[in-house]
Structure 1
Amino acid sequence: MAINMDHKWWKEAVIYQIYPYSFRDTTGSGIGDLNGITSKLSYLRDLGVDVIWLSPIYASPMKDMGYDISDYRAVNPDLGTMEDLERLMRTAHEIGLKVVMDLVVNHTSDQHAWFQDSLAGGSKRDWYVWRAPKNGQEPNNWGAIFGGSCWERDERSKEYYLHVFETSQPDLNWDNPDVREAVWDVMNFWLDKGCDGFRMDVINCISKEPGFPDVPVLDSSEKYQYGLKYRFNGPKVLDYLAEMHDRVLQYHPDAFTVGETPGVATADEAIGYVKGGTPLQMIFHFEHMYIDHQPGKTCFHKREWRLTELKDILGKFMLYMQDNDGWDSLYVENHDQPRILARYANDDIHRTAAAKMLALFHATGRGTLFVYQGQEIGMANSKQWTFEELRDVEEINHYNTEKAKRAPGADMSDVLTEIQRIGRDNARMPVSWTTGPNAGFSTATPWIKVNEDYKEWNVEVQEGQEHSVLEFWRGLLRMRKQEPGLVYGRLAMVDWESEDVYAYTRATAEAEHLVVCSFTEKTMQWTCPVEVGTLVLSNYISEKAEGGQVMELQPYACRLYKRSLK
């Protein structure tokens, strides 16, 4: 049994993603700020966090909540100043935390000086992707992620610019070496400031399908076809990342790198990005996040799924990485995904048990652990959204598109139900800190509503409570740091065929851990096909210290066992 114990700090790290607008407000503006993050660094350290990842804090018109950047070297004044950011980094480093920033370089804001020059036909015209009309229409039928066409017409030049996302987010032309040089300069600027690495937004979108061919028509009722594969994973993406490594990253060997890579569906597609830790250390793949989406459709089209499908995605991914010198990222929530409780379990009944089960399932896989703000207290989706409460451009565009298809005054409750289930605003509600007004997030009305359940589900209520979700997370993260096998141990799946139980082992030469997670709200019996060992962690306090192979599992039960191999 070969076990790779090649210790790296970034493999062992617990990374906590912060969405700054929704973390904590210290100014009374209703918007989270950098000083609010600084004020909670000790809380994060005590939770067991090693790294904080900041979603974009750059200057931005905020059409896509900061992922539309108008100046890569300036701080969004809504969040604070450059001095505030420098203080945050300095304070984090003093208490042993690293700071990772978002690198958003597939596109900029249309307000960026680069695009304004390009739009005017200046020296940076070729810094963006421009194409002439095709038969008087858009250059092809590619659909934008946020709806409509990927192309926007410029009336002055009569050409179209490409925007894979929102109209205000024109794509950079990575074929132009001047663009790449400008990106290397941005990276060096922040590394010199004290940034410890980057999460790279949609980094596999920087190379598109050559020739910009039409997507084959799957549904003639849709003018713009969705088709991820034409806009992601183009033939030059690994060349560009290798150049990034050669020009920047090799001179910062301790820098952290993770790439967001939609459309990378299998581990053999992913391995080129991460083999041996270069050019990236790990990627975010999406198949486990697409599991409840209809293939080829937007996220708002739901499908039912089975637990064996999740095993096939995550289990096979981790096993392939294990055998091919690759490393995975472990995430189930982020700023682009709704809360996981309703997707993988139930946020109405057995919520505490389900939140703990998902924590154990999440934190003991093979890879680097990413925790999203509020996940550690079991935050859930809002129970209901009105159109006036929506803030996310994707949700608003979806609502308006569906509304345009209907008669005036038609009922839109089904669309709001779709948004409640899967919309990104669910993850962007403020962190629930206390039982006080606005969940302790702000003294003013927040920019987006707080969760209706904040008085029952918040840090203040759970702090120090032995059986709370928060304290379960703290204990779990301590155990992860104390047990090398939970990071480096060899993974083996157990009972692939069960539609109720997700189980696996993590083994070193000294010990083996068995993870058992029930994904059902029924009480059931399950016979474990491997030796069990001693129970060391459970989400039910009545569990006995020793466990047999025939287990009675309560709703959303989770158990962690350990046995010596010496």
Structure 2
Amino acid sequence: MDRQWWKGAVVYQIYPYSFKDTTGTGTGDINGITSKLPYLQDLGVDVIWLSPIYESPMKDMGYDISDYRAINPDLGTMEDWEQMVARAHELGMKVVMDLVVNHSSDQHAWFQQSKRGEGDKRDWYVWRPPKDGQEPNNWGAIFGGSCWEWDEDCKEYYLHVFDPSQPDLNWENPEVREAIWVVMRFWLDKGCDGFRMDVINCISKEPGFPDVPVTDPTAKFQYGLLYRFNGPKVVEYLNEMYDKVLQHYPEVFTVGETPGIANAAEAIPLIQHGKPLQMIFHFEHMYIDHQPGKTCFYHRDWKLSELKKILGNFMIQMQDQGGWDSLYLENHDQPRILGRWANDTTYRAEAAKMLALFHATGRGTLYLYQGQEIGMANAREWTFEQLRDVEEINHYKAIQATRAPDADMSDVLEEIRRIGRDNARMPVSWDASSNAGFTSGSTPWIKVNEDYKEWNVAVQENVPGSVLAFWKRLLQLRRQEPGLVYGKFSMVDRESEDVYAYTRTLEGEAEYLVVCSFSDKDVNWKCPVGKGEVAISNYEQSDVLAKEHDGLTLRPYECRLYKRDLRQ
């Protein structure tokens, strides 16, 4: 069995602007991260992953980088970063950076030189002349509108899969690739332990930039989705990255963000046996409540059996084909999972613990997002003035443009409250003091969660029944029980629409049964496999467990982890 260190790691994602402010500016900073490293060590974290901290105009919260080798002064200095990394290493934690190299900022010197046609930089981005007086093709951008932006000085369009302020780099140009390898070596040589690679399967597009056949004129968002991602040279470029950079840093950590990867067969060429990447983030489970062909703001109802098919199949196929999965339910691009998959009002603590067990016992490396460990929830409401995310703002304005000037927009704001990215970007609720203990300043860059006085770290720390305490116990158990990391994964009862169950089996040692109710009512469930003894649960156990046979009565959002010793 291949027991690489990164398979058993617990990775904690930090969104620096919203983690902890030590200066009173209302913006989180690197020293704020350093101040909370002991808290993360106590939680059980092995790796911290930082969302972008580079110099940026902040059109997309740092994912528009203007200098890959400079720290955004709003967050601190390079010396602050070096001290933070040194402290993390002292505490036994690694530091992973966000590598955003599908695109740069339009303020990056490379793009400015490309616009002016200086030297060799013209071909560092994707420029195309008009086609029959129109845009080069009909591809839509992720954040709305076209993928093409007209440049009046050049009299040509440039490609941007995301916002116009984020022009796509031309990976066909070997000089571009070499410049990226230089950036990677720069950070690795300074002490960075690896990279999360932003939309890395977008670096190769469909050759010739063909139009996409349009079957649904309302689904502009999807125009070119399959052509913008997973181009024919993705694996070639990543193999070159491995050969030129990654293989020379034996302990390096790598995970690629890969929208549009629909199944394990598409993922395996990128990660088989840990090369060229160790794992990817796929999105199929995050799309489960989206209407097909539309943005996330258009909701659809879904069934638990659909989620089992997506995640269960991924884990089993990865297992069979030499791949390794990444386990995540929240990140900076997703709203809080409680209100999305369970309940963030009634039974909130029980639901948060159930999702924690479900999350932490699958087959793959575990990724925890800041605040998830205390059961942070979405905001109760948003006004337009409170929005900060470019995707939300563009969506709001696009809908507003189709309505009367004084039209009610509350339905749009409710969809943003349900699914918008700003929900995850609110500051971590540290305590019940002003601004949730995030900043001593009067005005955080984004609003704090309305419930911060009741749901915060200080309220839960050292409290045995809290969500935070449950996560600590769970992460300790995961570290103590190698079968929860390396054990064979098998689904149990795929048909139930109330209970998600599976086993993890380490041959000759132990078998674990994970049972999670996704219902807000009592559920009677017939268990088709042996159970063993309860190792952890989100409810206080009573003698009812001693009377269990094949049937289980699960309370709202109840979860249980059973262990059966195979050495006896």
The C-alpha deviation readout for 1:268-312, integer Å capped at 9, x for no partner, is 111111101000000000000000001111111111100000000
- Name which of 253, 260, 264 aligns with 1:263: 260
> Matches of residues 91-490 of structure 1 in structure 2 within 5 Å?
91-123=87-119, 124-221=121-218, 225-444=222-441, 445-490=443-488
What runs of 5+ residues in structure 2 fail to find an aligned partner?
none
The C-alpha deviation readout for 1:193-245, integer Å capped at 9, x for no partner, is 00000000000000001111112112235667534111000000000000000
SS of the equivalent of 2:250 reads: coil
Runs of 4 or more, structure 1, over 4 Å off, are 221-225, 543-547
* Aligned CA distance change for structure 1 residues 265 and 543 (closer, same or farther; 3 Å): farther
In the alignment, which residue of structure 2 is the partner of 1:35? 31
Partners of 2:136 and 2:485 lie apart in 1 by: 48
In the alignment, which residue of structure 2 is the partner of 1:539? 538
Q: Is the 8 A contact 1:15 1:370 kept in 2?
A: yes
Q: Is the 8 A contact 1:532 1:549 kept in 2?
A: no
In the alignment, which residue of structure 2 is the partner of 1:505? 503
- More divergent stretch after superposition (304-313 vs 539-548): 539-548
Partners of 1:239 and 1:223 lie apart in 2 by: 30
Identical aligned pairs, as a percentage?
73
Partners of 1:549 and 1:456 lie apart in 2 by: 39
Partners of 2:87 and 2:374 lie apart in 1 by: 25
SS of the equivalent of 1:126 reads: helix
Partner AA of 1:559 in structure 2 = R
Matched, 1:75 2:71: yes
- More divergent stretch after superposition (215-224 vs 434-443): 215-224
TM-score, normalised by the number of residues in structure 1 = 0.98
Q: Is the 8 A contact 1:500 1:519 kept in 2?
A: yes
* Aligned CA distance change for structure 1 residues 225 and 493 (closer, same or farther; 3 Å): closer
Q: Is the 8 A contact 1:532 1:548 kept in 2?
A: no
Partners of 2:222 and 2:307 lie apart in 1 by: 27
Partners of 2:317 and 2:303 lie apart in 1 by: 21
Partners of 2:266 and 2:249 lie apart in 1 by: 26
- Name which of 37, 44, 50 aligns with 2:46: 50
Partners of 2:542 and 2:93 lie apart in 1 by: 35
SS of the equivalent of 1:531 reads: coil
SS of the equivalent of 1:165 reads: coil
Q: Is the 8 A contact 2:221 2:293 kept in 1?
A: no
Q: Is the 8 A contact 1:92 1:98 kept in 2?
A: yes
Matched, 1:556 2:563: no
Partners of 1:332 and 1:357 lie apart in 2 by: 12
CA RMSD, Structure 1 to Structure 2 (Å):
0.9
Partners of 1:482 and 1:118 lie apart in 2 by: 54
The C-alpha deviation readout for 1:158-185, integer Å capped at 9, x for no partner, is 1100000000000000000000000000
The C-alpha deviation readout for 1:30-59, integer Å capped at 9, x for no partner, is 000000000000000000000000000000
What runs of 5+ residues in structure 1 fail to find an aligned partner?
none
Partners of 1:542 and 1:231 lie apart in 2 by: 51
> Matches of residues 488-499 of structure 1 in structure 2 within 5 Å?
488-499=486-497
Matched, 1:65 2:66: no
SS of the equivalent of 1:300 reads: coil
In the alignment, which residue of structure 1 is the partner of 2:523? 524
Q: Is the 8 A contact 2:214 2:223 kept in 1?
A: no
Partners of 2:302 and 2:539 lie apart in 1 by: 27
Partners of 2:253 and 2:412 lie apart in 1 by: 39
Partner AA of 1:451 in structure 2 = N
Q: Is the 8 A contact 2:142 2:221 kept in 1?
A: no
Partner AA of 1:459 in structure 2 = V
Count residues with an aligned counterpart. 562
SS of the equivalent of 2:553 reads: strand
* Aligned CA distance change for structure 1 residues 536 and 543 (closer, same or farther; 3 Å): farther
Partner AA of 2:558 in structure 1 = A
Partners of 1:22 and 1:9 lie apart in 2 by: 29
Q: Is the 8 A contact 1:215 1:225 kept in 2?
A: no
Shift in Å, 1:503: 0.2
Partners of 2:351 and 2:220 lie apart in 1 by: 42
Partner AA of 2:323 in structure 1 = G
